[in-house]
Amino acid sequence: MAFELSPLPYAPDALAPYMSAQHVQIHHGKHHAKYVETLNTLVEGKPEANQSLEEIIVNSVGKDDKAKIFNNAAQIWNHDFFWLSMKPQGGGTLPAELEKRIVADFGSVDDFKAKFVETGVAQFGSGWVWLVVDSSGKLALEKTGNADLPLAHGKHALFTCDVWEHAYYLDFQNRRPDFLKNFIDHLVNWEFAAGRLAQAK
């Protein structure tokens, strides 16, 4: 059964003015869609064609002969998760339990936001920045390169931000710090993150 491009959870212009409709249309309709198209070509006639994205990712991580399959499957999963990590009129007040955990593990919401931007900027080249529940049950910020993701390492992600250049260049050119601050202040879907936190329990 062929993989399909997941529809956006909102209209392409719904994140404006913080993310332009043109950017969303190109990012989702070109970049994200290309990973789906490529994965379908790579797995045609192979066992992976009947596996979920999660199964493909876990079964192919670290295997040189499966690198292309892993990269495309992971990038589909990452992008699906990225779109869900944002919402129209995002940012703002955090759900109580999530705020409590962030304050406990980062000192304050403002400290967390600063650390988020710092972590995303520190990712050299293409990649992602994630809020995860680590092995001790604490919240942590992590960066991954290229298509890598917490799922491949047995970790539970709460939200992610794409820091590949295609994720911000149209709206922010080379200003990755501004893009990340814009994301955490105006786009992040705290309710989605809180739901993921509840699932981690």
From the list 127, 156, 130, the residue with the least C-alpha distance to 141 is 130
| Integer Cα distance of 2 and 68 in angstroms | 17
Structural contact between residues 184 and 159, judged by C-beta atoms closer than 8 angstroms: no
- Reported as a single tens digit per residue, the pLDDT across 114-172 is 999 999 999 999 999 999 999 899 999 999 999 999 999 999 999 999 999 999 999 99
- Biggest CA–CA distance in the chain, Å, is 51
Q: Is the pLDDT of residue 63 over 80?
A: yes
pLDDT class of 1 with cuts at 50, 70, 90: low
pLDDT at 151: 96
pLDDT at 201: 73
pLDDT at 175: 97
| Integer Cα distance of 11 and 163 in angstroms | 22
- Reported as a single tens digit per residue, the pLDDT across 43-58 is 999 999 999 999 999 9
Could you tell me what percent of the chain has a pLDDT over 70? Answer: 100
Mean pLDDT to the nearest integer, 58-69: 96
